[in-house]
Structure formats: structure tokens, C-alpha cells
Amino acid sequence: MTRQLLVDAAEHAERAAEAVDDGTAERLAGVADDLRAVADESRSGPDHGWMAKRINTLREATSNADEGVREHADAAIESISEYREGVPGV
């Protein structure tokens, strides 16, 4: 479990946000900010519920987006999911 996965996810979410110009951009940028914040924290990291919520936001926000935006969202989800595999619990 490496925090670099969360940084990677944040970068993909940010790229997706830059590719849209409606309210979706704000939601995606918020996810990117959240991911960066937890990657920088010194505590143990986010729990499963926190990560599931961000994955859900990425999916919902990009469900009607073009393929390029969805590719970045999917890459972010993949990085979060990989990080999540190393988190104890659920």
C-alpha cells in the first residue's frame, strides 16, 4: 500500500476535471483535492468507506462524460482500488 497510488489517482481526477466545463469539474476537482490531502497526511490513511465514497463520486460525475474524461476517472478508480487492497478491514 503506497500513498503514491493516491497521488496518481488525484492527478487523474484532476485531468478529468480539466477536460469538462460544467459542475462536474468542481466535483472531480474536489475528489482530487481530497485524495491529495489524505496522501499528504501522516496518519494511517483513508478507510474503505472514505475511498468507496470517492470512487462513487468519480463514477457518478463521469457517467455521461466523453471517453477521455471517463478514461481518467477509470484510471483514478483503478489507483484507489489498488491502494484499497492493502487497507485492513472490509
> How many domains in the chain?
1
Q: 69 Cβ partners below 8 Å, 6+ apart?
A: 16, 19, 20, 62
Query: What's the pTM value of the predicted model, to 2 decimals?
Result: 0.89
Q: 90 in a domain, yes or no?
A: no
The CA-based diameter of the chain, rounded to the nearest angstrom, is 37
* Mean pLDDT for the stretch of residues 70-81: 96
Q: 24 in a domain, yes or no?
A: yes
Q: Is residue 1 pLDDT above 80, yes or no? A: no
Q: 57 in a domain, yes or no?
A: yes
Q: 59 in a domain, yes or no?
A: yes
* Mean pLDDT for the stretch of residues 18-22: 88
For 21, the domain range is 3-85
Quote the Cα angle for 74-28-34, to 5°. Answer: 100
Q: Is residue 31 pLDDT above 70, yes or no? A: yes
pLDDT at 48: 93
Q: Is residue 5 pLDDT above 80, yes or no? A: yes
Quote the Cα angle for 46-49-53, to 5°. Answer: 100
Q: 81 in a domain, yes or no?
A: yes
C-alpha–C-alpha distance, residues 84 and 25, integer Å: 24
